Homo-oligomer: A and B are copies of this chain.
Amino acid sequence: MAYFDAASAAPLHPVAREALAAALDEGWADPARLYREGRRARMLLDAAREAAAEAVGCRPDELSFTPSGTRALHSAVTGAAAGRRRTGRRLVLSAVEHSAVLHAAEAVPEGRVELVGVDRAGRVDAAEFAAALAPDTALAALQSANHEVGTVQPVAEVAAACREAGVPLLVDAAQSLAWGPVEGPWSLLAASAHKWGGPPGVGLLVVRKGTRYAAQEPPDERESGRAPGYPNLPAAVAAAASLRAVRERAAAEGARLSSLVDRIRARVPQLVPDTEVVGHGRLRLPHVVTFSCLYVDGEALLTELDAAGFSVSSGSSCTSDTLTPSHVLRAMGVLSEGNVRVSLPAGTPEAEVERFLDVLPEVVERVRARLGAPTGAPGASVSADSGAAAPDEGLEGLVVDTLGRRCPVPVIELAKVIGEVPVGGLVTVLSDDEAARLDVPAWCGMRGQEYVGERPAPRGTAYVVRRAN
């Protein structure tokens, strides 16, 4: 079995396990109490805070332990926005922030959220971000690296621009903190221990001195008033110990995993036809690589890979509760069907990556065959069971009705019929699947066909494509 989903949760680090067991013995009492069990717990908590602060690069009294990375982000967004309520209600975020940031920002009373877009590699442009800052901006937020595609953001530049504009910057460092501190004059930072091999149940919230902050949770004196509730002290101790441990090996292990990722990035497109590696090739996390496969159902691909012994995740619409492609892939404008994120835990053996590359082509092939996906030259029609239909009311060219059918069917049907119209002719794909909005244009880009645009149809949406070759 190979677990390749470290960006969701890393297995518990041995140092975390050991620290947790010790802290459960020594640190179960309430650190606010004056008796010896309480004093012992307080000492452990103080030491954990110091170790975590050193790894983050902040003062211990700027760091609070929270119940999770999500709660740290929620508190950071709501607390910082409330602290600057008089300045304004605008929140400037990258479009590819974690949903915890986006949801918290949307929940800010009278908040106005402005999203800064990303390029096709998922990267924010620092100048564009800086230009979005205005006098009434209460808070800006930018992740250190993207959780779905691994692209590293220009946080130091954006932090400098925010400092210049007098706007506090929140950095979601969940994906990168294991690899090193976040550079630049940021104001708030959040992270999650189980991303680096710490236990679940603990996150970090850092609020730099001088940052306005008004906690929105009911008052509670623990953790500087920023994380109500009895602290999960053993988890905090284990989190700090394991962060220190992973940092000691971060440079070496990062380089090793990065070369494995390079191998996947280079070989997947060679081994698997009609595949797009997404995310930045160079400015990226060491351990994350994401690609999408045309004509593939993401959920089926995950299931097949699981059966073959590989645990990965996907941003495809069929793997989400809402049946929409991940907002990250949408913001990047890249193919979402057959999407796979590989995130290697520390210590992943090279042989597992090789075995993944061995297995992947047959797995994709199998899923495509089951869906009747085209396998020949671009635009070749391969199936008699084509979805092509007679022109519908007001629709242009050859109309392919895929209403009620989910990703990747609309794109498969498009690929099947494109050869049936002359070069310069139109195909209209009728679809009510959200993924088509992303995947039809992405297919055109990959295939060298011209994407004309979308328009509302009596049922669903009409996506119009002109055959260019």
Interchain residue pairs with CB less than 8 A apart (25): A1-B36, A3-B35, A5-B29, A8-B29, A9-B30, A10-B28, A12-B25, A24-B199, A33-B311, A34-B299, A38-B311, A67-B232, A68-B228, A68-B230, A70-B220, A74-B218, A78-B218, A100-B218, A100-B220, A106-B218, A107-B217, A200-B232, A200-B233, A201-B202, A232-B232
B230 and A70 within 8 A (CB): yes
* CB of A238 to closest CB in B, whole Å: 10
Q: Is the CB of A8 within 8 A of B30?
A: yes
- Chain B residue nearest to A1 in the complex (CB): B36
Q: Is the CB of A28 within 8 A of B5?
A: no
Chain B residues whose CB sits within 8 angstroms of the CB of A228 once the complex forms: 68, 70-71, 74, 100
Q: Is A93 an interface residue (CB 8 A)?
A: no
> How many whole Å from A365's CB to the nearest CB in chain B?
20
Q: What separation, in Å, do the CA atoms of A200 and B103 have in the docked complex? A: 27
Judge whether A11 is part of the interface by a CB distance below 8 angstroms: yes
Cβ-based interface call for A187 (8 A): no
Bound-state CA distance A121–B235 (Å) is 38
Interface size on A, residues (CB 8 A): 66
Whether B218 and A34, one on each chain, are in contact in the complex, defined by CB atoms closer than 8 angstroms, is no
Q: Which residue of chain B has its CB nearest to the CB of A109?
A: B109
CB distance from A1 to the nearest CB of B (A): 7
Contact A218 B67 (CB under 8 A): no
Contact with B along A1-37 (1 / 0, CB 8 A): 1010100111110000100110011001110011111
Report which of B71, B219, B310 forms a contact with A103, defined as CB distance below 8 A: B219
State whether A34 and B302 are in contact (beta carbons under 8 Å apart), knowing that A29-B8, A228-B71 are contacts in the complex: yes
Complex contacts, A69 vs chain B, CB 8 Å: 229-230
Does A176 lie at the interface of the complex (its beta carbon under 8 Å from any beta carbon of B)? no
Q: Which of A34, A233, A321 has the most CB of B within 10 A?
A: A34
| Bound CA span A30–B70, Å | 14
- In the assembly, how many copies of this chain are there? 2
* B-side contacts of A84, CB under 8 Å: none
For the complex, what is the distance from the CA of A68 to the CA of B66, rounded to whole Å? 11
In the assembled complex, how far is the CB of residue A322 from the closest CB belonging to chain B, in whole angstroms? 9
Cα(A11)–Cα(B71), bound, Å: 26
Contact B35 A11 (CB under 8 A): no
Contact with B along A239-282 (1 / 0, CB 8 A): 00000000000000000000000000000000000000000000
C-alpha spacing A200/B222, complex, angstroms: 14
State whether the Cβ of A313 lies closer than 8 Å to any Cβ in chain B: yes
Is A312's beta carbon under 8 Å from chain B? yes
Answer yes or no: A303 CB below 8 A from chain B CBs: yes
Task: Give 10 nearest A-B pairs by CB, closest first.
Answer: A67-B67, A201-B232, A68-B229, A70-B229, A35-B311, A103-B218, A201-B201, A104-B218, A107-B218, A35-B306
Docked complex Cα distance between A370 and B281 (Å): 73
Chain A positions 210 through 229: 1 when the CB is less than 8 Å from some CB of chain B, otherwise 0: 00000001111100000011
Q: Is A194 an interface residue (CB 8 A)?
A: yes
A192 within 8 Å of B (CB atoms): yes
CB-defined contacts of A231 to chain B, threshold 8 Å: 200
Given A69-B229, A104-B218, A200-B232, 9 more A-B residue pairs with CB atoms under 8 Å apart are A8-B29, A28-B200, A33-B313, A67-B67, A70-B228, A70-B230, A77-B218, A78-B218, A200-B235
> Residue on B with the closest CB to A20?
B24
Query: Is the CB of A449 closer than 8 A to any CB of chain B?
Result: no
Q: Which residues from chain B contact A199 at a C-beta distance below 8 Å? A: 24, 232, 234
8 Å CB interface, A68-96 against B: 68-71, 74, 77-78
Given A35-B306, A229-B68, A235-B201, CB of A74 within 8 Å of CB of B3: no
**For the complex, what is the distance from the CA of A37 to the CA of B8, rounded to whole Å?**
12
- Closest CB of chain B to A340's CB: distance in Å? 12
Output the least CB separation between A214 and chain B (Å).
Answer: 12
CB closest residue in chain B, given A299: B34
Contacts of A28 in B (CB 8 A): 9-12, 194, 200
- Is A234 in contact with B311, judged by CB distance below 8 angstroms? no
A28, B199: Cα distance in complex, Å: 8
Could you say which residues of chain B place their CB within 8 Å of the CB of A104?
218
A104 to chain B, nearest CB (A): 4
Chain B residues lying within 8 Å of A9, measured Cβ to Cβ, are: 28-30, 230
The reply to whether A229 and B71 form a contact with Cβ atoms under 8 Å apart is yes
Contact A37 B3 (CB under 8 A): yes
